[in-house]
Amino acid sequence: MRFGLPTETETVIARRPVAYKVQSAQRNDTNKTIEYSITEALSQLELQTVTRKEENEKKRIGMLQNSFEEFNYQTNQLIDALNENFKVTQATQSSVIDTIVAEEKERKRKEEEMRLKEEQERREEERRKQIAEQKRKEEDERKRLEQKKKEEELALKKKEEERRARLRDAEEKKRTMGLTDFKKLEREVMKWRSHIADIKENVVARIHQNPQVKREMGASRRNITKRFGQLSNSLQQCRVVAQDVVQLIRSVQGDELRYKYLLNAVSKAIISQAETEVTVKATAAQPLAVLVFHLLNTFKELDFFLTARFVKKCCFVLGYSCSIDTEEGRLRMGWKRIENKWEDEVKYEERIGGIISLWAAISLHFRKDEFDLFNIGAQWRFLARILNTDFSLITNVHYLVVSNWWEVAADQLYREYGKQARKLFILLDRVWTPKGISKAFPAATRLQLLVEDLNNGNFNTISPMER
């Protein structure tokens, strides 16, 4: 390393001493000698100076070299220490790095294993789902094919049944040409029964959803029932009661739901009155019929509710009959269940007889076809259909309803239809009534006595109302 001083190998160049000339000519020789001496002396002095400088320089250089060597040694020691420390640090860091790298590799390995495992599980789950979906599709396809097969079989069966039914209907039509279509009549009965269910759901139930409205309508219904109890055999009293009931209904006529609810309530009250009052006394049918006459003339919509109620409670008004061997059959024929038991047969017949008497009395007031169920034509259909009914369905109640109807409306039917009515009466007298007597039906004997009175010129009808 160079610190500004020459090294041992470097050559030091000293300037030669300058010789000064003596001007005096005379002194040339002496001067030459002196000059030489001086020059020699100066040279020796300069050489000594240079020598000393060189020695000093050498010493200084030696000291510097020693210092440099010492410094170099310490530097090397420091470098060696640093190298050792670096190696230790590097080894430690390498170990830490190796550990971190190993841990990171292990973490990545585990993550990869977890990813592969999850991927495998996902694929396995997808495979299971695909298998399940495939099975479901196969099962759906199998069910669809089975359903299609069943539908095709049912369609074929239905077509075959329809073909057979058409043949039976054709044969039946040929056999019963001009007689009652009881299948159509059954559909009519079921139609009116469905209307009752619709009224319960869309009128009564909606009113009962609102407690306040329910209370108000309950009060109106009770007022109407109270007025019904005020009826008497006086026409004047009947008109007063009718006016009161009309006012009660008109008070809600602006509200369609309340209006329908009251019309339905009135219809139920009319039938209930027939089941209780008319059952006990047939003449009670007349004042109630007068009330219904006024209400039907005032509120045309009452016809729908009243017809539905009559058909539900007493389908005889349509001339319909069915077997009572099943619960459904009994319900259609108007039987009631009391404490899970069917009501007594006598009680049933009394109720039905009261309803028929009221219906006949109402129908006497309407001779036109203004209301389908309440006119003289409906009474003709009633009697004709009952006489056409398969006798296997005939029971004592059939003779009872005809007897009750006879006492109220037979005279009027005869006046309206004359000879045609007489044909029905002859069939009733000579064929139908004897069959009932042969079956020991009590009401058949009663009907026979009524027909005998007719043969003697007397219809034996109930007494008219007081003016």
Condensed to tens digits (0 to 9), the pLDDT of residues 187-219 reads 999 999 999 999 999 999 999 999 999 999 999
What is the C-alpha end-to-end distance of the chain, expressed in Å?
159
In this predicted structure, the answer to whether residue 145 has a pLDDT above a threshold of 80 is: yes
Whether 239 maps to a domain, the answer reads: yes
- The beta-strand segments (E) located in 319-455 are 337-338, 341-342
- Predicted pLDDT at 20: 44
Q: If pLDDT is split at 50, 70 and 90, which confidence band does 1 have?
A: very low
Q: If pLDDT is split at 50, 70 and 90, which confidence band does 282 have?
A: confident
Whether 144 maps to a domain, the answer reads: no
What is d(CA 156, CA 165) in angstroms, rounded to the nearest whole number? 14
User: Comparing 34-38, 183-187, 241-245, 317-321, which segment has the lowest mean pLDDT?
Assistant: 34-38
Q: Is the C-alpha dihedral spanning 137, 140, 145, 151 positive or negative?
A: negative
In this predicted structure, the answer to whether residue 75 has a pLDDT above a threshold of 80 is: no
Q: Mean pLDDT, to the nearest integer, of 295-320?
A: 96
Average pLDDT, the chain: 85
Show the tokens assigned to 297: 């003339």
In this predicted structure, the answer to whether residue 14 has a pLDDT above a threshold of 70 is: no
What's 281's DSSP letter? -
- Residue 329, SS3? helix
Q: Mean pLDDT, to the nearest integer, of 307-313?
A: 96
pLDDT 10s digits, 319-353: 999 999 999 999 999 999 888 899 999 999 999 99
Whether 389 maps to a domain, the answer reads: yes
Q: If pLDDT is split at 50, 70 and 90, which confidence band does 170 have?
A: low
Percent of the chain whose predicted confidence (pLDDT) is above 90? 50
- Predicted pLDDT at 52: 81
Whether 197 maps to a domain, the answer reads: yes
Q: If pLDDT is split at 50, 70 and 90, which confidence band does 22 have?
A: very low
In this predicted structure, the answer to whether residue 177 has a pLDDT above a threshold of 70 is: no
- Residue 177, SS3? coil
Question: Global pTM?
Answer: 0.62
Domain count, the chain: 1
Q: Mean pLDDT, to the nearest integer, of 297-306?
A: 95
- Predicted pLDDT at 169: 58
In this predicted structure, the answer to whether residue 5 has a pLDDT above a threshold of 60 is: no
What's 429's DSSP letter? I
What CATH number does the domain containing 298 carry? 1.25.40.510
- Predicted pLDDT at 27: 56
In this predicted structure, the answer to whether residue 314 has a pLDDT above a threshold of 80 is: yes
- Predicted pLDDT at 3: 46
Q: CB-side exposure of 342: number of CA atoms within 13 Å? A: 15
What letter represents residue 394's amino acid? I
In this predicted structure, the answer to whether residue 456 has a pLDDT above a threshold of 50 is: yes
What is d(CA 99, CA 93) in angstroms, rounded to the nearest whole number? 9
Domain, as residue range, for 269: 182-456
Q: Mean pLDDT, to the nearest integer, of 269-279?
A: 92
- Predicted pLDDT at 366: 84
Whether 249 maps to a domain, the answer reads: yes
Whether 136 maps to a domain, the answer reads: no
Phi and psi dihedrals of 394, rounded to 5?
Answer: -80, 130
What is d(CA 203, CA 138) in angstroms, rounded to the nearest whole number? 48
> Distance of CA 135 to CAs 19, 140, 307, 374, 390, Å?
129, 8, 56, 64, 56
What is d(CA 424, CA 34) in angstroms, rounded to the nearest whole number? 200
Whether 90 maps to a domain, the answer reads: no
Q: If pLDDT is split at 50, 70 and 90, which confidence band does 180 have?
A: confident
- Predicted pLDDT at 353: 95
